[in-house]
Chain A
């Protein structure tokens, strides 16, 4: 019953959400039809659709849309997974051991607020203009929220839950996998979602600074050659891809921790 109602509520919010998208599209379409603005500034939806077909099949400057998107996502996944595999254990460690916190916090607090593009030039200098500097950049961009949330997960474990496990015979060693790690999962997942958002935003900027392919580069290059139709199309593809990534993580979250929010 409860699940059914939740499904209905989701359907409703989806319906309402579509209205705003549809509204914007309608205005865009009207502007195109009435030719109030030059195609150079706001291309007709039809032109954008044609650009989509053109870039999908014939490609743009050496790669189809799928190739550009693929090379972007490849970088994203590389940097992001490295950040997850390092960040989650590191965050848990900092949360569990005050000594690790004292040791690592100053360094972390210095690097955390730095905008990734600030040290990007340095990375390029060290690692070259190729993939490695980009992947490292994305790794560094995704890392802070993942660490911080894993740490918050440890700090927010209800103490009585630990006590309950101890009176039920958990040994200090078993406690981590039996209670501490699962208790942190809701926070860890928040970190994973924020982290991929950070990495994705940074990815686009990275490609705008130095790249020869990728969806971010496509936007920049299309802009430079006044192909507004392609620019529009690429921005839309970028937005949709970002939404899909978040949706994937949210679905995974609901599958793995349906109890989120319950204490």
Chain B
């Protein structure tokens, strides 16, 4: 993938062959500016690739699709809509009836534990709560592939630990595939069933290894968890 700007061309992604399988939880980690967000935008269909192809179930990706939903580092909620209406945005576009929309938003709001804030507006919520609304809003589309661009990056450490477990629980309950971009090696190893490490720009995948995504929180104390973290770190620093 190459961005063409007025001053120069920026080659962001090296030709890459990568397959993502249903139900996988892929953690993607790499130096900043290497093209992780670009990759997610390409997969989401928000950006056409400058060369090559991205296939979704054998078909070339030509535009956004509700089955591939992207959630950003900033929550980017719609400030004029209540929390509930934000979550219903996707279901409404999908043509669900009022009643189905309400059921859908109620379910995903309870999943991110924000039922009590359904009638609040985004500017009345803390950053962590907004991020959870954004997650519920993406989930309400019931995507088969959820693309998460550093969704926990802006949260404080405590909230972050907590959100990791929620994310894992949500992934287990919904069974969707997830690509999670993160800057935290700990998070990548703990959440991912598969860990990918990107090189500097133009990005190539230099590490592709199973993670501990199926394990519970106690796995964080095991020796193999720490060993895997060290291994990933050595690649990140290369």
A242 interface hit (Cβ, 8 Å): no
Binding stretch for chain A, among B11-19, B63-71, B100-108? B63-71
A89 interface hit (Cβ, 8 Å): no
Minimum C-beta distance from A15 to chain B (A) = 27
The answer on a CB contact under 8 Å between A169 and B141 is: yes
The answer on a CB contact under 8 Å between B64 and A259 is: no
Q: Which residue of A lies closest to B134 (CB)?
A: A164
B207 interface hit (Cβ, 8 Å): no
B93 interface hit (Cβ, 8 Å): yes
How many chain A residues touch B (Cβ–Cβ < 8 Å)? 22
Which of A169, A171, A178 has the most chain B CB atoms inside 10 A of its CB? A169
The answer to whether A168 and B121 touch (CB under 8 A), given A161-B76, A174-B93, A259-B79, is no
Minimum C-beta distance from B119 to chain A (A) = 13
The answer to whether A168 and B80 touch (CB under 8 A), given A160-B74, A259-B123, is no
CB-CB under 8 A from B74, the residues of chain A are 160
8 Å CB contact of B46 from A167, A169, A174 = A167
Minimum C-beta distance from A107 to chain B (A) = 28
B49 interface hit (Cβ, 8 Å): no
How many chain B residues touch A (Cβ–Cβ < 8 Å)? 25
8 Å CB contact of A161 from B41, B70, B78 = B78
A164 to B147, CA, bound (A): 12
8 Å CB contact of A160 from B69, B76, B93, B138 = B76
The answer to whether A168 and B66 touch (CB under 8 A), given A163-B46, A259-B121, A259-B123, is yes
Q: Which B residues between 46 and 91 are near A, CB-CB below 8 angstroms?
A: 46, 64, 66, 68-70, 72, 74, 76, 78-80, 89-90
CB-CB under 8 A from A258, the residues of chain B are 121, 123
A214 to B145, CA, bound (A): 66
A123 interface hit (Cβ, 8 Å): no
A172 to B70, CA, bound (A): 17
What are 27 A-B pairs with beta-carbon distances under 8 A?
A158-B76, A160-B72, A160-B74, A160-B76, A161-B76, A163-B41, A163-B70, A164-B72, A165-B78, A166-B46, A166-B64, A167-B45, A167-B64, A167-B69, A167-B70, A168-B137, A169-B64, A169-B66, A169-B90, A169-B94, A169-B141, A174-B93, A178-B89, A258-B121, A259-B121, A262-B79, A263-B79
